[in-house]
Amino acid sequence: MKELIPVEIIEKKILLIRGEKVMLDADLAELYGVEVKHLKRQVRRNIGRFPADFMIQLSKEEYEFLRRHFGTLKRGEHSKYLPYAFTEQGVAMLSSVLNSERAVRVNIEIMRAFVRLRQMLASNAELARKLEALEKKYDSQFKVVFDAIRQLMASPETKKRKIGFHRDGPAPRKLCHL
C-alpha cells in the first residue's frame, strides 16, 4: 500500500519543545485535512483523553520563538489562541477523536515517523558509546581519527545567510565617459 504522506515530511514537523518530541495542532490539522479549529474543538470535547503528558499548550514565549526562529505559525494564518503541541501518545489519541479514515491512515504514518526518529536517536547513542569504548582501548595516535568521526556524527550547523544584497569580491569599477 502506498503511504499517504511521506515519512520525511512528517519527520520535519516533529519539534522538540520542553524536552518532548511533539507535533503542533496546525501541522496535524494540515496532515489530517481538517481545519485547526475543528481539531481543537474535538480535543476540547474529549479533554479527558489528553492528560498533560499527551498534550501541552504553548506559552506565549514559545509561540513567539517558533514564529521568529522557524517561520512556523505565521501571524494571521492561525487562530488567535495559543497552539497545542501533542506528544506521540497524544497524536495516537487524536485518531480516536477525529473519526475519519484519513485520520487513522495519517496517524499510522505519524507513528512510523516517531518510531524511525527514536531508532535513529538510539543508533546514534549506541554508536557514540562504541566510539568511546574504542577510544579508551587505543592510544592517542588514533585521537585524530576519533575526533574526525565525532565531527561526522555531530549534526551540521546551518549557517544563516544575511538578508539583502551582499557584494563579494572587489568593488565594481566606475565607468566614466570623456
Helix-strand-coil split of the chain, %, nearest 5 = 55, 10, 35
What topology does CATH give the domain 7-119?
Mlu1-box Binding Protein; DNA-binding Domain (3.10.260)
Integer Rg of the chain from CA: 23
Segment 39-64 shows an average pLDDT of 91
How do the domains of the chain map onto residue ranges?
7-119, 124-153
Whether the pLDDT of residue 162 is over 80: the answer is no
Number of alpha carbons in the 13 Å side-chain half-sphere of residue 2: 1
What pLDDT, in 10s, does the model give residues 73-88?
Answer: 554 454 578 899 999 8
* Backbone φ and ψ of 146, nearest 5°: -65, -40
C-alpha to C-alpha distances, 82 to 33, 88, 131, 153, nearest whole angstrom: 20, 20, 43, 36
CB 116 within 8 A of CB 7: yes
pLDDT band (50, 70, 90) for residue 42: very high
Indicate if the pLDDT at residue 43 is higher than 70.
Answer: yes
Indicate the Cα dihedral angle 118, 116, 31, 160, nearest 10°. 70
| Residue-level pLDDT at 6 | 75
**pLDDT over 70 for what percent of the chain?**
69
* 89 grid coordinates: 501518545
Alpha carbons 154 and 162: distance in angstroms, whole number:
24
Is residue 7 very low, low, confident or very high in pLDDT (cuts 50, 70, 90)? confident
pLDDT recorded at residue 86: 93
- Residue 176: its pLDDT value, please? 45
Q: Residue 67, class by beta-carbon neighbours within 10 Å (0-12 exposed, 13-18 middle, 19+ buried)?
A: middle
Q: CA 138, CA 151: separation in Å to the nearest integer?
A: 19
